[in-house]
Amino acid sequence: MAFGYHRGVAAFLALFTALALLAYSCAVNPVTGRSELALVSFSEEEEVALGAKAYTPAVQQQGGFYRDRALEEYVQGVGMRVARVSHRPNLNYRYRVLNSSVPNAFALPGGFIVLNRGLLVNLKSEAEMAAVLGHETGHVTAKHSLAGYQRAIAANLLLAGVSVAAGGRAGVMELSGVTASLFENGFSRDQEREADWLGIDYMVKAGYNPEGAIRLQEYFFTQLEGGKNPMFVEGLFRTHPFSKERLDNARALIAQRYPGTARNPKYTFNETIFKEKTARLREVQKAYDIADEGDKLFKEKRYPEALAKYEQAIAREPGQASFHSSAGRSHLVRNDYPAAENSLREAIRIDEEFFEPHFLLGVLRYQRKDYRGSIPELSRSMDLLPSKQAAAYLSKSYEAIGDRENAKKYAEMAQ
């Protein structure tokens, strides 16, 4: 009886502590000016550090950056034009292009904003791009990702309280899992609506015609309607819930706030300059369409056919690291080690900051019993994207050369 009483008290105290922490402090939202409950108060420096921690893994998991300096400078320039008129113009914003065919864009705390190649290549004007970047900037200025992070911490605390009360471990969710939630959880409908409005406000203040935002959302609706484009469901619509209501709301907002902008030459679309700046991207995309076919074949374990597609893509665009990495992966799975090593080394030469060829080259050298040669490549892949697979190979490589201390360290990481 006494044992049950103490367990009940422990459960109550653990739950009370977790609930009490939910009201630990208040923070002022820079967009609304309202005070909001916050489990943890973040300084701007801490917000940037949090976003930076999630940024590199999120980028690497999805293909790394698309390497085109002129295009990167163009996207950064348009992004900063929007950012300078936002509620938080002094953040160090970074607008980058992600090397993924999945149509998507995302924002992390502190000003880390990414636009996927697969979305950018389908836009028609600079105003449409400004609408995307303005929307993502709105997520940053309104601290939407931080709100999701707060919810994840709160849920973790509640679960931890119940676990401790029941005699379990307190660490129900690793901090890295909470950090991953910054990217994976997406946004609520209210947050998406607010980001739409902020994006329109920002693009108009930056001199863009807000009809660009309407054209963008009309395009999204055509892709969503009837499941016309499954890639959008996999990407943009998974993390950014879309509805006809959002399109209608945007039209109403523009009619109310900016009725004179549609025919005012002061507010531009910049279609010609956009087409010029993205011409090279659209040409390269033709090779990525071929490589994407190779990815489907690889998943079906049709390796010779997949390799043929990758080689076709390389013939069109030899300067794309991901094509060489994919070819190396196809050679590796067929145990053609010399060809695999040549392809992977070429991928690394083109883009040393892409984790995949480092990981695959490390695996290749392990399989060839070159354990000392595998360690630097696997370690570099861990620097770029920590993974249990790389940790497991590192553990086995260190074990093979008699370094038990490092073997144990990486074995623990691989669990």
Q: Could you tell me which CATH number the domain at 282-414 has?
A: 1.25.40.10
Which H helix or E strand runs over 37? strand 35-38
pLDDT at 122: 94
In this predicted structure, the answer to whether residue 280 has a pLDDT above a threshold of 90 is yes
**Mean pLDDT value of segment 261-265:** 90
Quick one: tokens of 390?
A: 């790389």
Confidence band for 152, pLDDT divided at 50, 70 and 90 = low
Rounded to 5°, angle at Cα 195 from 189 and 198: 145
Buried b / exposed e over 19-52, threshold 16 CB at 10 Å, is eebeeeeebebebeeeeeebbeebeeeebbebbe
In the structure, what pLDDT confidence band is assigned to residue 258 with cuts at 50, 70 and 90? very high
Cβ atoms of 98 and 62 closer than 8 Å: yes
- What single DSSP character describes residue 186? -
Q: pLDDT tens for residues 62-100?
A: 999 999 999 999 999 999 999 999 999 999 999 999 999
Query: Burial level of 312, CB count in 10 A (0-12/13-18/19+)?
Result: middle
> According to the model, what pLDDT value does residue 145 have?
77
pLDDT (0 to 100) of residue 219? 86
State the average pLDDT for the chain. Answer: 84
What percentage of the chain has pLDDT greater than the value 70? Answer: 77
Residue 17 predicted with pLDDT over 60: no
The contacts of residue 238 (CB under 8 Å, 6+ apart) are 186
- The Cα–Cα gap between 258 and 209 comes to 9
Under the banding of pLDDT at 50, 70 and 90, the label for residue 214 is very high
- pLDDT of 35 reads 61
The full set of domain ranges for the chain reads 44-146+177-274, 282-414
More reliable by pLDDT, 233 or 269: 269
Assign residue 320 a region: left if phi > 0, alpha if psi is -120 to 50, beta otherwise? Answer: beta
Mean pLDDT of 373-402: 97
- 106 by DSSP, 3-state: which? strand
Structure tokens at 184: 């994976």
pLDDT of residue 240: 57
CB 295 within 8 A of CB 275: no
Split at pLDDT 50, 70, 90, the class of 262 is: confident
Contacts of 2 (CB under 8 A, 6+ apart): none
For residue 8, the model assigns a pLDDT of 45
pTM summary value: 0.84
pLDDT given for residue 29 in this prediction: 72
Task: Name the pLDDT band for 242 (thresholds 50, 70, 90).
Answer: low
| Residue whose C-alpha is closest to residue 184's, from 140, 159, 141, 148 | 148
Q: Are 26 and 35 in contact (CB under 8 A)?
A: yes
Nearest to 86 by CA among 140, 28, 147, 146: 140
